[in-house]
Structure 1
Amino acid sequence: MTVPRLYLSVNGCLCPRSEPDPAWGDVANASISIDHGDGQASTHDVHWAPGLITALDSLLMQYGVELVWLTSWNELDATRQLLVPELHGLVGGRMLDVTTPPIDPGQTHGETGLWKSQRIEEDQNVPAPFIWIDDADVQLHGEKVLNATQETPSLLIPPHSEVGITVADIALMRSWLEQLV
C-alpha cells in the first residue's frame, strides 16, 4: 500500500488564533521572528497544545504517514527551521512550494488558498491516500481537490481557526487511517 500523506497547515490548525482545544491540556507559547532579508522581518506570537503535537507524532509513526507541510510558513523554511524546534515534535516533513503563484486562468478573485489546492493536485500526480487539514482552504477549495483526486481515498478536516485541531479530529484521523490498513 502507498504511504498516506498528511497535508498540514500551521495557522488556525496547529497554532490556533485563540486558545487550543481545552481537552489537550497545557498550552505552550513562543515568539518567532522570521528574517525576510533586506532588513525586513516579521514576528509571530504562536501558541499550541503540546498534547496535540504528541498525538500527531504518534499518529504519523503508528500509521507510517508522511508529513507534508502545506503552509505559508514554508517560505524561507520557517516551518522546519524556526517553528518545529519550538514544538518539540513533528520533525522533518516535506514542504510544498509556496512561492509559485497559482495557475488558473479562470481565477480573477485572487483566492488565498488556491495555491494550496494546486500543490495538493500536483503532489497527487503520484497518488497516495491523504488527509488535508486547513482551517480556511479546505472549505474554500476542498471540493476542487476532491474532484481532481476522485479515485484517491481522502479525508479533509477544516478545524475551527480559534481552537485548531481538536481531540475529536485526531480520533477521526485515527479511525480513517485504520480503515486503510
Structure 2
Amino acid sequence: MTVPRLYLSVNGCLCPRSEPDPAWGDVAKASINIEYGDGHASTRDVRWAPRLITALDSLLMQYGVELVWLTSWNEFDATRQLLVPELHGLAGGRMLDVTTPPKRPGRTDGETGLWKSQRIEEDQNVPAPFIWIDDADVELHGQKVLNATLETPSLLIPPHSAVGITVDDIALMRIWLEQLP
C-alpha cells in the first residue's frame, strides 16, 4: 500500500482563531516573529492544544502517515523553523510550495486557497490515500480536489476555525485510516 498523506493547514486547524476544542484540555500560546527581509516582519500570536499535537504525532506514527504542510506558514519555512519548535511535535514533514503562483491564466489567487487545491492535485500525480484538513479551503475547493482524485481514497475535514481540529476529527481520521487496505 502507498503511504497515506496528511495535508495540514495551520491557521484555524492546529492554531484556531479562538480557543482550541475544550476537550483537549490545556492551551499553549506563543508569539512568533516572521522576518520577511528588508526590515519587514510580522508577529503571529498563536494558540494550540498540546494534547492535539501529541494525538497527531501518534496518528502519524501508528499509521505511517506522511505529514505534508499545506499552509501559508510555508513561506520562509516558518512552519518547520518557527512554529514546530514551539509545538514540541509534528517535526519534519514535507512542505508544498506556497510561493509559486497558481498556474491558472488570467486568475489571481490571493488568500482564496485555490493554490492549495492545485498543490494537492500536483502532489497526487503520484497517487496516495490522503486526508486534507483546512478550515476554509476544504469547503471552497474540496469538491474540485475530489473530482481530480476520484480513484484515490480521501478524507476531507473542514474544522471550525474558532476551535480547530477536534477530538472527534482525530477519531474520524483513525477510523478512516483503519479502513484503508
TM-score, length-scaled by structure 2? 0.97
Query: What residue in structure 2 maps to residue 163 of structure 1?
Result: 163
Counterpart of 1:69 in structure 2 is 69
Tell me whether 1:128 sits opposite 2:131 in the alignment. Answer: no
Counterpart of 1:118?
A: 118
Q: Which amino acid aligns with 1:103?
A: K
Q: What residue ranges of structure 1 are gaps of 5+ in the alignment?
A: none
Correspondence for 1:142 = 142
| 2:86 match | 86
> What is the CA-CA distance between 1:107 and the residue it aligns to?
4.1
Q: Among all aligned residue pairs of Structure 1 and Structure 2, give the percentage whose two residues are the same amino acid.
A: 88
Please name the residue that 2:97 is paired with: 97
Structure 2: tracts of 5 or more residues without a match: none
Partner of 1:102, secondary structure, is: coil
Quick check: 2:109–2:115 contact (8 Å CA) kept in 1?
no
Aligned Cα RMSD in Å?
Answer: 1.2
Secondary structure, aligned partner of 1:180: coil
What is the aligned partner in structure 2 of residue 44 from structure 1? 44
How many residues were matched structurally? 181
| Alpha-carbon distance, 1:105 to partner | 3.1
Q: Using the alignment, how far apart are the partners of 1:104 and 1:169 within structure 2?
A: 32
Describe the superposition over 1:75-97 as per-residue Cα deviations: whole angstroms up to 9, x where unpaired. 00000000000000000000000
Are the equivalent residues in 1 in contact too, given 2:101–2:109 (CA < 8 A)?
no
Q: TM-score, normalised by structure 1?
A: 0.97
SS of 2:179's equivalent in the other structure is: helix
1:139 match: secondary structure: helix
- What is the distance in 2 between the residues matched to 1:110 and 1:53? 29
